[in-house]
Amino acid sequence: MENNMSLPAGTAASSPPSPSTRGVRRAGPLVAVLLLAGSAMPVLGSVLLSPVLPSMQGYFADTPGATLLVPMVLTIPALVIALCAPIAGQIADRVGRKTLLLVSMVLYTIAGTAPLWLASLGSIVASRVVVGLAEAAIMTICTTLITDYYEGKARDKYLGLQVLVASLSATLFFALGGILGSSGWRAPFWLYLSAIVIAVPMAVYLWEPARDAARARAVPVPWRRIAAPALVTLIGGVVFYALIVHLPYVLDEFGVRSVGTIGAAAALASAATAAGAISFRFLSGFGPRRLLPVAFGLAAVGLLILWFAPTVPVVLVGAVITSGGTGILLPTLLTWAVSGLAIEERGRGTGVWTGALYIGQFASPLILAGAAGAVGGLTAALGALGIVAAVAAVASIAIPRR
């Protein structure tokens, strides 16, 4: 189903088609924009509050355990996504995608804006758990619907654009969080209202893909197809988030203290990730068996350059190479994971894949912190991760042909 065969917008918004016509419905660019916008919601949750954490820490200074609870406001949604995305995928396969997505967008708005009026730090952390539950469903279903609505080159294009949108929106949301945070630590939470704005056209233009409801309730998680991609994605998630979290610390070790310079370096790395994601559209025909060695290999080379970098410009070269590789890596892993899955299995498969990715995200700083203590510093730990990426590049050559 190619997006250049889409029906006019008025047709797409009409009442649900009959079973005889449901199979020929086509998704156009507007549908893709809505799904990509929905995919950005978990990114908003993961970076928006970073600039205001010190202000929150000061506000709740007298709250017992604040030094632990305030950082959890930022990190706990990712842990909840990691644990609950597979469950969200099963629910989506059993009860349907659209209804669960819309309910999750509304829940995301309510829980996301709750800290605007919640008084205690404990209740704010609890609201962030609910945000993570909503994000698990939103990310899983948006990705699943992309694979449901599109095929071939169109699917590859939009899966690559997911990574591009995530990279660009992370930079945007971080900046917006800083700007709004200047008015108080609660102000950035107003941005969670954007989910309800997106949910309205979703309710109009999205539809439930045709599937065998009885089979969808009966089929198990397709572990034979998804286990290997999920395991590799776990490693890929650690590699992908390594520089997103740690590049500022690497620059600090080289004496770079300017916030503007660090921001420019992060933007350069994000641009490289975006370039890699864009290139996936043109490289996807080579398949995971050829692309994974390239993606992991680029990440390995970049991380090893960081390990031995003598100057800041060389650090930036290593960051760009690493980020270009990880930009190719994520859509390649996702395409590998969902290829061959029947529509009744895609929610489960995508949920397991999303959970593996977010476990990698959550574990990445913990692994690197432990490795830094063991091998003598952060750059050495990143170099060790580069060796792991190189091993993954070699091992991925053994992926069987499909």
Query: Residue 288 has which token pair?
Result: 């995971």
For residue 142, what is the enclosing H or E element?
Answer: helix 121-149
CB 397 within 8 A of CB 290: no
Rounded Cα distance, 201 and 182, in Å: 32
pLDDT value for 259: 65
Distance CA 39, CA 195 (A): 11
pLDDT at 12: 34
State how far Cα 322 lies from the chain centre: 17
| pLDDT for position 4 | 36
Listed as ranges, residues in the chain with pLDDT below 70 are 1-24, 211-219, 259, 400-402
Element (H, E) at 203: helix 194-205
Dump pLDDT digits (tens) for 202-244.
999 999 887 655 555 656 777 888 888 999 999 999 999 888 7
**What's phi and psi for 315, nearest 5 deg?**
-60, -45
Q: Which of 234, 178, 194 is nearest to 47 (CA)?
A: 178
Place of tokens 């099963």: 90
Class of domain 3-210: mainly alpha
pLDDT score of 216: 55
Decide if 3-210 and 223-398 have a common fold: yes
Tokens read off for 92: 């989506």
Alpha-carbon distance 115 to 120, whole Å? 9
CATH dotted code for 223-398 = 1.20.1250.20
Cα 59 to chain centroid, rounded? 30
How far apart are the C-alpha atoms of 365 and 274, rounded to whole Å? 22
CA-CA distance, 105 to 40, in Å (whole number)? 12
pLDDT at 396: 87
Domain coordinates in residue numbering, the chain: 3-210, 223-398
